[in-house]
Amino acid sequence: ADYTALQAQIAFEANRTDLSAQIPLYIALAEKDIERMLDDSWLLKKSAQLTILAGATVVPLPDDLQRLDSASYADGNEITITTQQDRAEFAQKTNQYASIVGKALVLHASSEEDQTLNIVYKAKIEPLSASNLTNEVFLNLWDAYFYASNAHLQRAIKDKASEQEYMQRAAASVNA
């Protein structure tokens, strides 16, 4: 099964040709629902090693980062992530403190040597499309995609009962 098969199955289930062009939108909305349902799931957990060059205080984060769960140096020392508002309070502290600013981790102090940073984060789901027919979440939770997409289709045709039933099935699929 892939994105094309999912679209076909949703169209078959709906038995309506007037909504076929909207099916990619329903799938995209379903992905956002599934992403929320999978908040702490292993399917979205990733780890990465980032290199911090000597003297640098800004480290680009992975493009698919949705939430940073932990950060530590290779020697095991944890980094405390502060908010942008608290940054001034920690400005004179060591490089054990950092803030997330846009798509970067901003360390509150630099090091005199290159360092390796280990991070664990919640990733975004790689969106399905005509050029990306599958992803890891889809391979594990095809039925959640199907049910959540159908829930959005039912919302479009204003069938609240069916919408709720499909979304409950999607949640049950994710939690199974």
pLDDT in tens, 119-153: 999 999 999 999 999 999 999 999 999 999 999 99
Give me the half-sphere count of Cα atoms (radius 13 Å) on the Cβ side of residue 63: 1
What is the model's pLDDT at position 176? 85
170: enclosing H helix or E strand: helix 160-175
Under the banding of pLDDT at 50, 70 and 90, the label for residue 31 is: very high
Span 87-113, mean pLDDT?
76
What is the model's pLDDT at position 98? 85
Residue 87 has pLDDT above 70, yes or no: no
Question: Do β-strands 80-82 and 97-101 pair in parallel, antiparallel, or remain unpaired?
Answer: parallel
Under the banding of pLDDT at 50, 70 and 90, the label for residue 94 is: low
